[in-house]
């Protein structure tokens, strides 16, 4: 149905112009309503694809709804190559030589605590299902487009080998990381303390993660990532959340956060990707941390993820990748923020605890018990651990080594401060 404005031909020229103007407004209004209607339809179709039928739903105290979805109905199996995939219920060979937490001193154990997810307060998912954070209409509408929902912007991986600060900073992402390169890596592990950094703007985020990287830093980059993040744009709040990510083409068309596209196959019924984790560490107070292990199964070739000591979450099938189908060429651990300020100004978005590494335990953020998986499926201490940050007066990193923590580093910072204007 179209709208029209009828004007008398006997009116003055000015009146005719007004009529044309009114007609144009009505046409624009109709076009806007049609566009909004089409967008709602597109969003609803996307929600129907993402939100699978639930066996049971659990209301989390933070407002999330966790749907318990039958394992065989999860989003992974929307992938055409996974239609007839037989789920691997356990890895063939877990890595050997895990850092022995029993060696950690009693005093050190008292200083750190494990975390849980908020939704656990109100129930759990039955065996044979997986917990999936329900996507809401507002979540999708916050994205730049339905197509880009759940995806990172291009080229967000730190490039420590580049010495050109203009090239490094052009995408607005800043990092404070430790890394190894120059070998073949088959996985990585670390224990990370969890914070709730302050985010200045809705379109910024702060995260702490492990990167498993293969290929060049061009458009063929393969990456598997996992850690914790605060991202108002993605989740609609400032909660600290467990997340994963993968891409096989430098964040262009493939991959996504958590289970927001087909790819990662989850087998665990207790941990929900993208769900809030609680409690978090406090400045000069109790410290809470999470352990993440990602490794390549020597038999099947899939990349597995373990959360803590007890939860094997699932795997990324090897066919998703080109370079990572063989091995990784670089491992990175550390923090990343988005700086959306322009004209040389810096965001006040915090990385980690929002405090610099030199402040140390209970004040700064850390990665401890850093290890890599070698070609024999053994966890080893990393050799040649380097560090990198674009602006150390905004966010910094300092490494160390001791009997309790193995290889570790403190990292992070406040962003905007007198030395980082």
The stretch 339-362 carries a mean pLDDT of: 94
For range 195-207, the mean pLDDT: 96
Least confident of 4-8, 192-196, 233-237, 395-399: 4-8
Which whole number is the average pLDDT over 80-85?
Answer: 89
Please report, for the chain, the start and end positions of each structural domain, with discontinuous segments joined by +.
Answer: 12-50, 52-412
pLDDT score at 217: 82
**pLDDT value at position 7?**
47
Residue 286 phi/psi, 5° resolution?
-60, 145
pLDDT tops 80 at residue 26? no
pLDDT in tens, 270-319: 999 999 999 999 999 999 999 999 999 999 999 999 999 889 999 999 99
Angle 286-292-296 from CA coordinates, rounded to 5°: 170
pLDDT (0 to 100) of residue 3 = 45
Q: Taking 90 as the threshold, does the pLDDT of residue 163 lie above it?
A: no
User: Is 167 a residue whose pLDDT tops 50?
Assistant: no
- Mean pLDDT comparison of 54-68, 114-128, 336-350, highest-scoring range: 54-68
101 noted as active-site residue = no
Confidence class for position 98, pLDDT limits 50, 70, 90: low
Q: What is the pLDDT of residue 35?
A: 66
What per-residue confidence (pLDDT) applies to 27? 63
Selected catalytic residue, list 204, 225, 332, 390: 225
* Cβ–Cβ under 8 Å, residues 199 and 349: yes
Cα distance between residue 293 and residue 179, in whole Å: 16
The residue from 336, 341, 359, 390 that is catalytic is 336
**In the annotation, is 332 catalytic?**
no
pTM tops 0.85: yes
């Amino acid at each position: 149905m179209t709208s029209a404005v009828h004007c008398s031909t006997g009116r003055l020229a000015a009146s005719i112009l007004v009529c044309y103007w009114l007609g144009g407004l009505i046409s624009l209004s109709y076009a806007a309503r049609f566009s909004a209607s089409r967008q709602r339809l597109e969003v609803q179709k996307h929600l129907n694809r993402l939100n699978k039928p639930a066996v049971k739903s659990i209301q989390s105290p933070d407002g999330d709804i966790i749907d318990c979805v039958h394992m065989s109905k999860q989003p992974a199996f929307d992938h055409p190559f996974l239609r007839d995939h037989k789920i691997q219920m356990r890895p063939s060979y877990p890595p050997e030589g895990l850092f022995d937490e029993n060696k950690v001193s009693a005093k050190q154990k008292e200083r750190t605590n494990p975390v849980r997810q908020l939704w656990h307060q109100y129930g759990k998912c039955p065996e044979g299902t997986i917990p999936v954070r329900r996507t809401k209409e507002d979540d999708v509408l916050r994205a730049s487009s339905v197509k880009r929902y759940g995806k990172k912007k291009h080229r967000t991986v730190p490039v420590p080998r580049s010495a050109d600060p203009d090239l490094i900073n052009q995408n607005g992402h800043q990092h404070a990381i430790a890394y190894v390169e120059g070998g073949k890596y088959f996985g990585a592990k670390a224990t990370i303390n969890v914070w709730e950094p302050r985010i200045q703007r809705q379109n910024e985020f702060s995260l702490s993660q492990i990167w498993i990287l293969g290929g060049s830093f061009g458009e063929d980059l393969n990456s598997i990532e996992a850690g914790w993040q605060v991202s108002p744009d993605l989740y609609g709040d400032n909660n600290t959340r467990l997340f994963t990510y993968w891409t096989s083409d430098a964040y262009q068309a493939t991959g996504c956060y958590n289970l927001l596209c087909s790819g990662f196959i989850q087998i665990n019924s207790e941990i929900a990707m993208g769900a809030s984790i609680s409690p978090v560490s406090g400045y000069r107070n109790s410290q809470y941390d999470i352990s993440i292990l990602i490794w390549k199964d020597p038999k099947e070739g899939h990349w597995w993820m373990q959360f803590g000591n007890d939860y094997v979450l699932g795997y990324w099938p090897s066919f998703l990748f080109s370079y990572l189908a063989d091995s990784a060429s670089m491992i990175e651990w550390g923090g990343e923020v988005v700086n959306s300020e322009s004209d040389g100004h810096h965001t006040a978005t915090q990385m980690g605890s929002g405090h610099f590494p030199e402040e140390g335990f209970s004040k700064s953020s850390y990665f401890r018990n850093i290890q890599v998986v070698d070609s024999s499926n053994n966890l080893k201490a990393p050799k040649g651990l380097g560090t990198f940050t674009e602006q150390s007066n905004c966010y910094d990193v300092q490494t160390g080594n001791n009997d309790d923590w193995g290889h570790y580093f403190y990292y992070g910072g406040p962003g905007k401060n007198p030395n980082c204007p």
